[in-house]
Structure 1
Amino acid sequence: MIFHLGELFCGPGGIGWGATHADINDPEYGIVHEWANDYDEDTCETYRHNICPDDPDSVYHGDIRTFDMDQLDPIDALAFGFPCNDYSVVGEQKGMDGTFGPLYTYGVKALKKFRPQWFLAENVGGLRSANEGKALKKILSELEGAGYKITPHLYKFEEYGIPQARHRLIIIGIRNDIDIEFKVPSPAPYAGIDNTCRNAIENPPIPADAFNNEPTRQSKQVVERLKHILPGQNAFTADLPDELKLNIKGAKISQIYKRLDPDKPSYTVTGSGGGGTHIYHWEEPRALTNRERARLQTFPDDFEFLGSKESVRKQIGMAVPCRGAKIIFEALLKCFAGIEYESVEASINE
């Protein structure tokens, strides 16, 4: 069974890459791109360029709230990483009351319209506590109401060999009339992988002519500040001279001027970048390049992001790690192919 995948809120192609590269050593089972949609133009260009260069018209740039789904071809699989701004722990946490909170309903609408055999929905772990837990309960109820058996699970991608501590709630749904049960793939097979950020960034060395690898420019003050910050420390835990301390009242976000610890996975790559929220190298007094950030998200070096340097930073930060998506899609394909694999109980708890 070759599944034709549609994607809403497709991003630059982390999910798309994982889906189209999923391989269970059975040529009868695979996933191919059918269409995708995103509201950001650069993101759509990146997706076209890397995921479906031979079919650029299958990627639709447009706001889902005014998008006409009638123009889309039939699909038998759907993925939607619905926008997480209102569910993120570092966001304003408006949940269902925010601009982006209700956008999951368009995923539900697509499920009812296309009746795909399965779907994958993705969001931040903060969704679990949004609106005192009511948001997640409502979303799960509506996904079930669309006619699907659902398996929500909090994936900690660093446990799956990904060089980044990234926790994401991923919901797999299989249509009710299909007698197949999805099982969450176990992280055990990935225990021996070196998922330190040093290994991800340095092995193999990034080629001099790599895409999206322009050096970052730091002000003299930032360079001086970083010289006093040890690996794993941030602007508030480091022993900084008074003239380099940050004059911030209220919340002291731990990722401000935080250097990576080279012997651990990176902290979460985000789309933000102002006010010291770039990810900072453990040794050199600078922020990471976009290519280094892309490596932490497990994008291959030949994956070229299009747009301005700032646009590319946002695209990388909003994506799902390619290899993480691939692991989940391969588990799904194995379920349909009847291939046993090591699994764990689904859980949305930390």
Structure 2
Amino acid sequence: MTVFKKGELFSGPGGLSLGAKISKIVDGNGIEHSVEHTWANDFNEEACKTFINNISPNKPASVIYKPVQKVDISKLEGIDAFAFGFPCNDFSIVGKSLGIDGEYGHLFTYGIEVLRTHQPRWFIAENVGGLKSVNEGKTFRLIMRELINSGYDIFPHLYKFEEYGVPQARHRIIIVGIKKDENLKFKIPAPTYIDKFKTAREALLNPPILENAPNHQFTRHKQRVIDMLNHIPPGENAWSEKIPEKMRLRVKGARMSQIYRRLHPEKPSYTITGSGGGGTHIYHWEQPRALTNRERARLQSFPDNFVFSGNKEQVRQQIGMAVPPQAAKVIIEAILKTFAGIPYREDSRGPRWSQIQIQKQLNSL
């Protein structure tokens, strides 16, 4: 048996770790390859409780609740694998896109410190698609340079998670890194859903969610919101022409497409977020209401027995910021197959970043 001991920074509630936990492959010699949680860190107390309860109930001390700046990385247990979904606030296309100069932009350097201190055999770094373009791409190139200079070949790719069985149009940059001395090339796994995606209807109704399921509290809406939702067709939002004039929102300037946007039952959900005011909670295609946290969790591919800690808004934040476990599983199993020497289908569509192309990008810094 080959077991990769994994550490994680910015672990959130454990979406990526759940994907790692359920990732197992067996090679031609009957040897199992898997990933084992070793330690994790996050500054959100409720997210740490969620992680402990679902990922490491027998090792609560392995989850470190404190700001990453206060973690003594040199004293963490040695690891073979590492994951860090460093905060995306300053890289998102929604907002000012401050990049490295923002409040959160520098936090990726703590992941670099882990790589240089513990030299795991492979890592996964996750962030929003906007990372690629912020500051005209300079931030992304800087991050890639630091990862390469830490001793790794890197394999970045913009994954569309709906193409891998997640019932949600969620697009994220995932950088897989493998230590240079392993002499291994990671291949982007081929999508498993191309012509027919998993839909919102399938995710929420197959099977139906039990009434007493955890994190399944319904929102009490004002009557005017219910009346407006009743006039919005599936897939449309608060700016729908079907809404009577007297019920329409009086908003000047930009009109965000996700305000009171209802799901389309025959399509994947739009991107789930962890915060936002009225009208941003994702709305059922048929019933005039916001989704429950349990429903949002399903759209993120969490199983119903994964219980989130905290109040309603704290749970919403955890779900919206998490890596979908199903997406993590696909990528991590491809990594395990790479190390085990097991062939798998590669995504052959469009150009890919070769190591030479990446180096050319870095030379422009």
Q: TM-score, normalised by structure 1?
A: 0.96
Report deviation, 1:71. 3.1
**What is the CA–CA distance in structure 2 between the aligned matches of 1:347 and 1:160, rounded to whole Å?**
18
Cα distance between partner residues in 1 of 2:291 and 2:186:
37
For 1:18, the equivalent position in structure 2 comes to: 19
1:227-266 residue pairs with structure 2 within 5 A?
A: 227-266=230-269
Please report how far the alpha carbon of residue 192 of structure 1 lies from its aligned counterpart in structure 2 after TM superposition: 6.9
Aligned-pair CA distance for 1:120: 0.1
1:142 to 130, 135, 146: 146
Deviation readout 1:211-261 (Å, 9 max, x if unpaired): 100111111111111011100101113432233222222221100000000
Matching residue of 2:103: 99
* Residue aligning to 1:212: 215
CA contact (8 A) 1:7 1:79 kept: yes
The answer on whether the counterparts of 1:15 and 1:325 sit within 8 Å (CA) in structure 2 is yes
Aligned partner of 1:59 in structure 2 is: 63
What is the Cα deviation at residue 193 of structure 1? 6.2
Q: Give SS of 1:60's match.
A: strand
- Cα shift at 1:273: 3.8
Q: Are residue 179 (structure 1) and residue 220 (structure 2) matched?
A: no
**Which ranges in structure 1 are unaligned for 5 or more consecutive residues?**
none
- Are 1:277 and 2:280 an aligned pair? yes
**Alignment match, 2:359:** none
Q: 1:201 aligns with which of 201, 204, 217?
A: 204
Shift of 1:70: 2.9
Distance in 2, Cα, partners of 1:291 & 1:200:
11
Letter in 2 for 1:157: F
Q: Distance in 1 between matches of 2:314 and 2:352?
A: 34
Say whether the 8 Å CA contact 2:126–2:172 is kept in structure 1: yes
2:73 touches 2:113 (CA, 8 Å); kept in 1?
Answer: no
Match of 1:90? 94
Question: What does residue 287 of structure 1 align with?
Answer: 290
Equivalent residue for 2:160, pick from 112, 133, 156: 156
- Quick check: 2:162–2:197 contact (8 Å CA) kept in 1? no
Distance 1:304 1:45 in 2: 10
Taking only aligned residues, the RMSD between alpha carbons, in angstroms, comes to 1.3
Counterpart amino acid of residue 49 in structure 1:
N
- What is the SS of the residue equivalent to 2:182? coil
Spell out, residue by residue over 1:158-182, the C-alpha distance to the aligned partner (whole angstroms, 9 max, x if none). 1112100000000000001111111
Q: CA deviation at 1:190?
A: 3.3
More off after superposition, 3-12 vs 26-35? 26-35
**Cα deviation code 1:246-288 (max 9, x no counterpart):** 2222221100000000000000011024121110000000000
Question: Partners of 2:245 and 2:197 in 1: how far apart?
Answer: 38
Q: Check conservation: 1:87, 1:130, Cα contact below 8 A.
A: yes
What secondary structure sits across from 1:88 in the alignment? Answer: coil
Unaligned runs of 5+ in 2: 354-365
Distance in 1 between the 2:156 and 2:75 partners?
30
Equivalent residue pairs, number: 347
Q: Secondary structure at the match of 2:286?
A: coil
Of 98, 115, 122, the residue aligned with 1:118 is 122
Distance 1:84 1:126 in 2: 9
The residue type paired with residue 149 of structure 1 is: D
Letter in 2 for 1:25: V
Q: Secondary structure at the match of 1:150?
A: strand
Aligned CA distance change for structure 1 residues 278 and 238 (closer, same or farther; 3 Å): farther
- In the alignment, residue 8 of structure 1 is paired with which amino acid? L
SS at match of 1:53: coil
Note the alpha carbon deviations across 1:4-48, whole angstroms, 9 max, x for none: 000000010110000111021354310000000001000000000
* CA distance in structure 1 between the aligned counterparts of 2:241 and 2:330, rounded to whole angstroms: 37
Structure 1 counterpart of 2:153, which letter? K
Q: Distance in 1 between matches of 2:233 and 2:292?
A: 19
Gap change, CA 1:15 and 1:310, over 3 Å in 2:
same
The 8 Å contact of residues 161 and 191 in structure 1, kept in 2 or not, is answered as no
Asked if the contact 1:163–1:266 (Cα under 8 Å) also holds between the matched residues in 2, the reply is: yes
2-structure distance, mates of 1:16, 1:289: 23
Query: So what's the TM-score if we normalise by structure 2?
Result: 0.92
Q: Distance in 1 between matches of 2:66 and 2:95?
A: 24
The residue type equivalent to 2:318 in the other structure is Q
The match for 1:133 is 137
Q: Secondary structure at the match of 1:344?
A: coil
Which letter maps to 1:6?
G
2:164 counterpart letter in structure 1? Y
